[in-house]
Amino acid sequence: MKNKLLMLLCALLFWGLNSSAVELKRSEENLVDTNRYEEDYLFAGESLEFKGEARDLFFFTEQIDFSGTSILALTGLAREIDVTGNVNNGVKVGGRTIKINGNVKGTSFLGGEKVTFGQSSQTTGDTFVLGRKVTVSGKHRGDFYAGAAEISIQNEIKGDVTVHAGEFEIPEQGRIIGNLTYHSDQELSAEEASRVTGEIKFEKKEGGPFHDNFSDRFFSKSIWFVLLFKFSFIVFGLLVLLFPVNKLLERQYTRKEIQSHSLWGLIPLFVYPSAFLVSIVLLITLPLAVALLLAFMPIVFVTKTLGITIIGGYLAKRFNFRSTSRYLYFLIVVILYSLLSLIPFVGFLLLVFVTSIGCGLILSALFNKQLAEPTVSSV
């Protein structure tokens, strides 16, 4: 049985890696990369200074300083994100501090405590921002959607603007060439409103962001469906953890091990869609395509459960919580994960991160050894 699984894994890797090459990088220290890559670029480690060029760049790190070029998108999670380079298909990131000072084209999703578009930034395309404080000091072309406690538009935006904020301002240097729809504690002054060329719609927020139509939102069918789905996942995860093989999750993993599992686990995430498409095109492999389709959700649920449990063990060790219960590790993180997953796009990044950790753990178990550290390896 094990040999069959390994053969299937190798087949999937062959199909996927022939359809798109991937450069894998990992470093325990600050990595400075000035090379040019024609393939996707994946990084997991302490920090990254990327000054080269890649097709798509994905990262899970503490800090990233991107001054290079991404032919497509820049995607990932980090505590501090600084973009001074060129991105041609949008920035999709989540972090504590996000600074955009480069040229960005395409649809972007940004979520962080503080999001700043610097004076030198040039952004084109629809942009969605969620944070505590959002400052737009650079020029923007395209529709702009933002939700934050404080929002300040200090340069020109050509496009419609939709804002949900506690404090919202358009200082003297700010200008909106388009329509403005905003929900705020206070209405703009006449002078600020004169800096908007299009139609202005204002709705005062009273009693906080959850006051208006709270009962309608709470009792809506969509909310109950989301809650039911998340509850079913918690139950499913606890059932998965009942299997004795999951006792290895009672070991508290280090951050280095988590990053290693995450990086290796990203490979199956890239391979799976490619293998599915190839299986459809080749008629002889249609049964495999059906099997891959039916197995998708169970695989996501299982790998997400493993990833969440590993992160729970890491946090328990970090905060000196004396327990070796894999069930408790899972419950510690799954509640926080469920809340954060409600944030647009940030939830998707979290899903990729935790499932990649689970996939990496499974790969390690299949090969019965610790996966090698992919410091400068390429696939």
Residue 219: per-residue pLDDT: 47
Q: Could you tell me if 74 and 95 are in contact, meaning their C-beta atoms sit under 8 angstroms apart?
A: no
Mean predicted confidence (pLDDT) in 327-331? 89
Mean predicted confidence (pLDDT) in 157-167? 93
pTM of the shown model: 0.69
On whether residue 251 sits in a domain, the answer given is: yes
Q: How confident is the model at residue 285 (pLDDT cuts 50, 70, 90)?
A: low
On whether residue 68 sits in a domain, the answer given is: no
pLDDT at 186 over 50: yes
By residue range, what is the domain housing residue 236? 217-366
On whether residue 361 sits in a domain, the answer given is: yes
Residue 162: per-residue pLDDT: 94
**Range with lowest mean pLDDT among 126-135, 172-181, 248-257:** 248-257
Q: How confident is the model at residue 117 (pLDDT cuts 50, 70, 90)?
A: very high
* DSSP assigned state of 35: -
Mean predicted confidence (pLDDT) in 247-275? 78
On whether residue 263 sits in a domain, the answer given is: yes
Question: Which has the closest alpha carbon to 265: 3, 60, 36, 88?
Answer: 60
Residue 64: per-residue pLDDT: 94
**Range with lowest mean pLDDT among 105-109, 137-141, 210-214, 258-262:** 210-214
pLDDT at 139 over 90: yes
Residue 150: per-residue pLDDT: 93
On whether residue 294 sits in a domain, the answer given is: yes
Residue 259: per-residue pLDDT: 78
Q: What's the rounded Cα separation, in Å, for the pair 50 and 85?
A: 9
* 118 token code pair: 């610097």
Q: What's the rounded Cα separation, in Å, for the pair 234 and 201?
A: 42
On whether residue 27 sits in a domain, the answer given is: no
What is the number of domains present in the chain? Answer: 1
On whether residue 360 sits in a domain, the answer given is: yes
Q: What's the rounded Cα separation, in Å, for the pair 365 and 261?
A: 11
**SS3 call for 376:** coil
On whether residue 95 sits in a domain, the answer given is: no
Q: Could you tell me if 359 and 265 are in contact, meaning their C-beta atoms sit under 8 angstroms apart?
A: yes
Residue 125: per-residue pLDDT: 94
**37 vs 338, which has greater pLDDT?**
37
pLDDT mean across residues, the chain: 82
Residue 339: per-residue pLDDT: 80
Q: What's the rounded Cα separation, in Å, for the pair 302 and 167?
A: 42
Environment class of residue 59 by beta-carbon count within 10 Å: exposed (0-12), middle (13-18) or buried (19+)?
A: buried
